[in-house]
Amino acid sequence: MKSLAIVMGILIAFSCAFAQTDKPAGTSLKVLAHDRHDGMMISADPYVEPERAKEKFGKANPLPLGILPLEVFILNESTQPIRVNLETVQLEFQLDSGREQVDWLRPEQVANFVAHPKGVAGPTTRRFPVLLPGRDSKTETLTGILRPLALDADVIPPRSTVHGFLYFNLSRHMAIVPKGTLYVPDAVKVPTKEPLMFFEVHLDSVTTP
């Protein structure tokens, strides 16, 4: 019975991940900034061009507010499912003033900032607790645009890719994006729980406007 429960748990996790396993046509993951080892490749595509971001997000575009939309692709090249802890993913910068780590924002937080621009402050270094204004119809509408685009599947089936956006508040300092590194520290094979080495995707090849 115990092994049956484990199998059922894995199947349920697969169903969550399959919703985002389609890779956009024309996207070559090897061309993007990436880190690849232990049977997995993580690629990152920052939307730093205003027109590109506007086309993708429309009225929910967070880029003018200094929030970077970073599309992340996770390719599992192995024969085992892999679980990635998205909660620990960060964007790290090595600046003249020192090292800075920025947590990603949830779609509803980004929507609130787009709906109420004066609410955006400096780089976000902690995701919890977050005090948001009362929900309104505008925020709900923008959340409905951003949430389906977000990366929210943490189990990647064998030979599959999941992708979606993580949003980072850089307080309009887009010039520092090439100094950034997407840091993914927690990934394990399922169901053995064998940990993988951390992933670092360097964005130094990115050209900002």
**Would you say residue 90 lies in a domain?**
yes
**Would you say residue 209 lies in a domain?**
no
For residue 99, give its domain range: 2-202
DSSP category for residue 35: E
**Would you say residue 207 lies in a domain?**
no
- Total domains in the fold of the chain: 1
**Would you say residue 138 lies in a domain?**
yes
CA nearest neighbour of 145 among 180, 115, 182, 183: 115
The tens digit of pLDDT for each residue in 45-74 reads 999 999 999 999 999 999 999 999 999 999
**Would you say residue 119 lies in a domain?**
yes
Sign of CA dihedral 125, 127, 132, 138: positive
pTM: 0.81
**Would you say residue 160 lies in a domain?**
yes
The tens digit of pLDDT for each residue in 71-114 reads 999 999 999 999 999 999 999 998 888 899 999 999 999 999 99
Cα separation, 187 vs 85, in Å, equals 6
